[in-house]
Amino acid sequence: MRVGIIGANGWLGAILGRRLLDSGVVTPDRLAVLTRDARSQPLYSGYAGVTWARDADDIVARCDVIVVSVRPHDWEDVILAAPGRLLISFMAGITLSDLAQTGARCARAMPNAAAELGKSYTPWIGDGLVTAGDAATLENVLSVLGSVERLHDEAHLELMAAVPGSGSAYPALMAQAMLDWLTQAGVAPETACRAVEGVICNAAQLLEGRIAQACQVLHDYRDYRGMTAAGLDAADAAGFSSSMRIALDAAVERGRMLRRQPAGGTS
Ligand SMILES: NC(=O)c1ccc[n+]([C@@H]2O[C@H](COP(=O)([O-])OP(=O)(O)OC[C@H]3O[C@@H](n4cnc5c(N)ncnc54)[C@H](OP(=O)(O)O)[C@@H]3O)[C@@H](O)[C@H]2O)c1
């Protein structure tokens, strides 16, 4: 397998490139990278043998698997003709039918920020040309970022861009609200940070592997009839759940616009 990454200097492209090399899934002589900026070369300088492609045609000539990790509005500038190749796009809002114009066998994948830790949940979807062998290749490549799951409805991938694609954004939103509440009540900022980290980062680990039981966890807290039950009831009454639904709908709507707007990405 020879892998090419277009946008290899970007946040996600660089994580993929480095993790492919560090894991040994791809050896440096089998990785080609394309960036817009030649100054980005030091990023892969520890790996002798990585090829710096001249342009998209060069990467197609060198690779059988091509990952596109540019922002959606930059896609139109990537003139890519890749018949016979497996194309994996990370771009939100660029559909399988858009990608089909490349002539490649096409797939879309949606990693998230936890890729940096090798803990992304990465759903993907392929077009009708993707073979069983391609699926194995995809799982092999994407597994360096974390866990991988094949979906069968492209609309669901857009929903995934709003949920796992958001990375730590919504936990950060909750963290900020808690920090503000504590510090406005006079708690020292450093103490507030330790307290909120204890909830958002540490206690939340109790849900790992049992997220399907979130409803039961809430039920148990409510059953206890203590302070947290009162807080949960008040949050519900103030529209917490509907706020989340409105937020996720807005994110999906933004995803539909991304290819036409000169800023932004999934995050
Ligand atoms: N960040 C996330 O959590 C996340 C999650 C899931 C999916 N995604 C998707 O993944 C893609 C990359 O996201 P990102 O956060 O890594 O964005 P990013 O940091 O902005 O990286 C994009 C990279 O693409 C490069 N680029 C743009 N046009 C190019 C071209 N024609 N040829 C070669 N390189 C080109 C950019 O170069 P310059 O440095 O010159 O601009 C930049 O380095 C986006 O489509 C995003 O929607 C991101």
Q: Which of 106, 86, 104, 88 is nearest to 96 (CA)?
A: 106
Check whether domain 3-165 has CATH 3.40.50.720, yes or no: yes
Q: Residue 185: its pLDDT value, please? A: 98
In this predicted model, which residue has the larger pLDDT, 39 or 236?
236
**Predicted local confidence at residue 75, as pLDDT:** 93
Reported as a single tens digit per residue, the pLDDT across 208-226 is 999 999 999 999 999 998 9
Among 82-86, 88-92, 253-257, the minimum mean pLDDT is found in: 253-257
Instruction: Average the pLDDT over 233-255 and give the result.
Output: 94
Q: Report pLDDT for 149.
A: 97
State both tokens at 180: 């503000």
Ligand 1: does its nearest atom lie under 6 Å from the Cβ of 78? yes
0.85 exceeded by pTM: yes
Supply the pLDDT for residue 36.
87
CB 123, CB 117: distance < 8 Å: no
Distances from the Cα of 219 to the Cα of 107, 175, 216, 239, 263, angstroms: 40, 22, 5, 18, 42
* Domain 169-258 in this protein, CATH class: mainly alpha
Which of the two residues, 118 and 39, has the higher pLDDT score?
118
* Contact 34 CB / ligand 1 (< 6 Å): yes
Percent of the chain with pLDDT over 70: 95
Question: Is 260's pLDDT higher than 80?
Answer: no
Class of residue 178 by CB neighbours under 10 A (exposed 0-12, middle 13-18, buried 19+):
middle
Mutate-to-test residue for ligand 1 from 5, 6, 11, highest number of ligand atoms within 8 A of CB: 11
Give the pLDDT of residue 102: 96
Amino acid identity at 194? R
Cα 39 to middle of ligand 1, angstroms: 16
Name the residue of 34, 36, 52 whose CB sits within 8 Å of the most ligand 1 atoms, as the mutation to test its pocket: 36
Q: Ligand 1 centroid to 54 CA: how many Å? A: 18
Q: How far is the CA of 221 from the centre of ligand 1 (A)?
A: 42
pLDDT tens-digit series, residues 42-86: 677 778 889 999 999 999 999 999 999 999 999 999 989 999 999
User: Which of 54, 69, 163 best tests ligand 1's pocket when mutated (most atoms within 8 Å of CB)?
Assistant: 69
CA distance 266 to 145: 17
Per-residue pLDDT, averaged over 188-197, amounts to 98
Does residue 266 register a pLDDT over 70?
Answer: no
Q: What is the rounded CA–CA span in Å between residue 86 and residue 102? A: 10
Arithmetic mean of pLDDT, 8-19: 94
Q: Express each pLDDT in 115-173 by its tens digit.
A: 999 999 999 999 999 999 999 999 999 999 999 999 999 999 999 999 999 999 999 99
Predicted pLDDT of residue 147: 97
The confidence score (pLDDT) of residue 197 equals 98
Q: Is the CB of 90 under 6 A from ligand 1?
A: yes
**Protein residue with least CA distance to atom 38, ligand 1:** 36
In the chain, domain spans? 3-165, 169-258
